Chains A and B, each alone.
Chain A
Amino acid sequence: SQQGEEDPQALSIQEGENATMNCSYKTSINNLQWYRQNSGRGLVHLILIRSNEREKHSGRLRVTLDTSKKSSSLLITASRAADTASYFCATDWGAQKLVFGQGTRLTINP
């Protein structure tokens, strides 16, 4: 399977703290993407990192990619209650076809 695997499966932190979640995958990829899914809502694209990039930032999000280890991490800084959601990594290994991991459930406690 080409599926990415997120770690941890669940994460609970206090508001204002940083949240880090990791994704590992099995084969070479064109790019890796992170999506967020709030309870009862569809998936929203957060950030894309290409295979020739090592780090990317978008607002409070920081994504790293290590192709030698086939892994990626998503860091959310200064977390807010609104960041409570499930986060999925998705790997694109060609033909714009995404394979999603199982997700990390993030809970931000006030």
Chain B
Amino acid sequence: EAGVAQSPRYKIIEKRQSVAFWCNPISGHATLYWYQQILGQGPKLLIQFQNNGVVDDSQLPKDRFSAERLKGVDSTLKIQPAKLEDSAVYLCASSQGPSSFFGPGTRLTVL
């Protein structure tokens, strides 16, 4: 069974630039999550989708972050414009039960 795929794996941008991350969940998983993990900390949930609807985006900085899940499968997370404090690993996860399966993450560095 293929795991959660994410791309790119690494991204370096300058502040005020835009960036987008892509996630392909495990086939058949209805729930998809985006997490932000700052170095030395645990992952923080940004947004949760159930199929293509948003379940929770209470911790998503909506003035600069946006996410969508087209046709209830793939998802993209966008940051526009990026700030220095957005430097982190962005993890995508999917689930069809209580436990989650995580992708390898995208390491974002904002200079």
Chain A residues at the B interface, C-beta cutoff of 8 Å: 3, 30-31, 33, 35, 41-45, 48, 88, 90, 92, 95-103
Known: A95-B55, A95-B56, A96-B31. A42 touches B42 (CB 8 A): no
* A-B interface, 10 closest residue pairs, ranked by CB to CB distance from nearest: A100-B42, A42-B102, A43-B102, A45-B99, A42-B104, A100-B43, A102-B42, A88-B42, A101-B42, A103-B42
**5 A-B contact pairs sorted by A residue (CB < 8 Å):** A41-B104, A43-B91, A88-B43, A98-B45, A103-B41
Q: Which residues of A sit under 8 angstroms from B55, Cβ to Cβ?
A: 95, 97
Which of A42, A96, A102 meets B91, CB within 8 Å?
A: A42
Q: In the complex where A41-B104, A102-B41, A103-B42 touch, is A96 in contact with B56 (Cβ < 8 A)?
A: no
Chain A contacts for B103, CB-based, 8 A: 42
Q: Is the CB of A100 within 8 A of B44?
A: yes
B48 at the interface (CB under 8 A from A): yes
With most chain A CB atoms within 10 A of its CB, the pick from B4, B102, B104 is B102
Q: Name the contact of B56 in the complex, choosing from A41, A97, A100 (C-beta under 8 A).
A: A97
B18 interfacial by beta-carbon distance below 8 Å: no
